[in-house]
Structure 1
């Protein structure tokens, strides 16, 4: 028993899946969430937890932003983690020098390439953008950095120009090219197509950086995997600018269940999620996949009865895989099996008559939007059955 169910439908689909690596950008793009700032100690803690999970690259920040940012990145680079440490840089020499000052391993060098960015942000032509990225890549390579040549707003960039831009980056010595879905405009079909087209143009690995403006960042990231993308960018809890980025926890579970990629230590993912929730102040939605409070919570009596026989009936993976816990919540849709199971867990043995009394009260109260977790249920049972001499097992 593996504790999870593989997607058997994948055997019918031809995919071009190569070596995958995660570049987690929680400490950089995640910190660009409006109102979010991590302290140096918080960044170090998050970096250690990402490293424990097995994330291959940690994008620790954008060093030109401030001296404090640079010092935090340098502290992370000095931890001796297994993960490579990456920094972001514009296609400007002084930005790259700031990265070098941090002792980072990898630099992601970018310039906006869409007509919108070129016209309104950079005031440059397409050729001028290439003329910026080429010397920047060459300079970073001469100074010993692993270089990711990124096109900001790639997914709204003219395809022929995007190919020329990436080819110029490759010829300048880049180790990766990076597709940034900066405004989250893609869907899995268009992402699969674009990655395929870029892979026809360059021989170096392709990265994808997906935003969640249309709620498809994780789906687009996995579609990119199927098209042969190598480096996947994520943030813990999917935090990031506007609607956020592809969520680390969802991408890792997707890689495991859909494609059998089983080299990450997922048992600490919930602890990481809770830490980032605390440090960022961004509350996790209760129904958030993998790490939300309701990810393994069940109320329906039919569901709970089946789960008590075999937990695969209504869970695609066990909560223990990600360090979570299963929870039964009693309410309008609950039945006697769930009630008796939860009661026994707390040391109560209920007769059939007592079960009916408690269940009737649960259903009555549920009409007022009340539901019962473990401690709530203990109080209800004690209160209802004190005079009825409920048997304590």
Structure 2
């Protein structure tokens, strides 16, 4: 997992979310933020002649990133789209083709013979137009027949694809089924395998990490999980987990809050106070049991130091706070109360409608008893 890669799709998958459309300035801000975090590849958008801004965006992004990451485009297996993508000169072109019967037969009214011919023709066209790396994304792979998934992956490998990307298009995988899918595909080809996980059942990040544990080399993600329906793997969760739990030094979690705030503002979305890694209240604590533990050793109830994500610990004292937590906090500030006084103060806190900050707690205790020190 230390050699894995994060592929950001905020400007492609993320912009597919209803009501989200990033302006040119926001796109460049997002790209700069992604580079600060250390993202390996940025998917700038879908390649289509309708996307007239893409050539200029790619040029500006190349100057902005200074080759610190790869710049990619996503593309359907259509000749005109591939030709447009090649004119933009991306580092990577991600061709997408469906492999499930639901998409192939029902949506497109095509058969597997058509798919084989189309995939081979598309890969050849991309290379003939000078695209250096071609990634093949297998849409709806999690609902497709496994033998056909393996056959398609092998066909892509035979014709020069540099990566196979497995899409859990409607988010039905669990970590166990994702692991099995990745292992099966890895056993059939000698190419890096990536995953693109959707969040319909709230498991996109978990499934993406499970894929890495099974040997996948990359995962797709979007800032705040923006995307179709319930979105996809959240970039901040994946990058944070890899950096803070797995010790991957490539990613810089301290830049995640600013990146998420940039995307939220540009997308017109809010960030919940308890949003993992970047929420404003994830290090705010009021319950007595946890405050006691934090006072003794922060690691008891914090998986990483708040400073690692540019945050800070905030303690609140109110209806959920116990006597022991109050005593420890006051002692840290040099105020030692008798047991009867502690009990009285705690009773007052527990009947108060508003929790107090550390300083407010100290002031309340001081004003009540007129004693700044008692040893």
Structure 2 length as normaliser, TM-score?
Answer: 0.89
| 3-state SS, counterpart of residue 109 of structure 1 | strand
Could you list the per-position Cα deviations for residues 212-246 of structure 1 after superposition, in whole angstroms to 9, with x for gaps in the alignment?
11111111111111211001111122222111111
1:275 paired to 2:262: yes
- The alpha carbon displacement at 1:348 in A equals 9.4
Shift of the 340–18 alpha-carbon distance from structure 1 to 2, 3 Å rule, reads closer
Q: 1:365 to 1:152 in 2, by over 3 A?
A: same
- How far the C-alpha of 1:101 sits from its partner, in A, is 3.0
Count of residue pairs the alignment pairs up:
369
Alignment partner of 1:36 is 2:23? no
| 1:133 maps onto 2:115 in alignment | no
Partners of 1:145 and 1:373 in 2: how far apart? 57
- The runs of 5 or more residues in structure 2 that have no matched partner are none
The CA RMSD over aligned residues, in Å, is 2.7
The equivalent of 1:176 in structure 2 is 163
Aligned to 2:176: 189
Unmatched tracts of structure 1, length 5 or more: 1-16
Which of 113, 118, 121 pairs up with 2:104?
Answer: 118
How many angstroms apart in 2 are the aligned matches of 1:284 and 1:127? 46
Aligned-partner SS, 1:88: strand
Q: In the alignment, which residue of structure 2 is the partner of 1:315?
A: 302
In structure 1, the partner of 2:4 is 20
**Corresponding residue for residue 95 of structure 2:** 109
- For the pair 1:153 / 2:143, whether they are aligned, the reply is no
- Which shows bigger deviation, 100-109 or 83-92? 100-109
SS at match of 1:151: strand
Alpha-carbon distance in structure 1 between the residues aligned to 2:264 and 2:330: 32
User: Aligned pair in 2 of structure 1 residues 96, 77: CA closer, same or farther (>3 Å)?
Assistant: farther
Structure 2 counterpart of 1:71, from 47, 56, 79: 56
Distance in 1 between residues matched to 2:53 and 2:241, nearest whole Å? 36
Determine which of 95, 105, 126 is the counterpart of 2:81.
95
Using the TM superposition, give the Cα deviation of residue 119 of structure 1 relative to its aligned residue in structure 2, in angstroms.
2.1
Structure-1-length-normalised TM-score: 0.85
Provide the rounded CA distance (Å) in 1 between the counterparts of 2:188 and 2:53. 39
Asked if structure 2 preserves the Cα contact closer than 8 Å seen for 1:70 and 1:98, the reply is no
Partner of 1:5: none
- Counterparts of 1:382 and 1:342 in 2: how far apart (Å)? 12
Counterpart Cα distance in 1 of 2:25 and 2:342: 51
Worse overlay, 25-34 or 352-361: 352-361
Q: Is residue 100–residue 144 contact of structure 2 (8 Å, CA) maintained in 1?
A: yes
- Secondary structure in 2 matching 1:78: helix
Asked whether the equivalents of residues 336 and 359 of structure 1 are also in contact (C-alpha less than 8 Å), the reply is: yes
- For residues 275 and 350 of structure 1, the distance between their equivalents in structure 2, rounded to whole angstroms, comes to 45
Separation (CA, whole Å) in 2 of partners of 1:209 and 1:225: 12
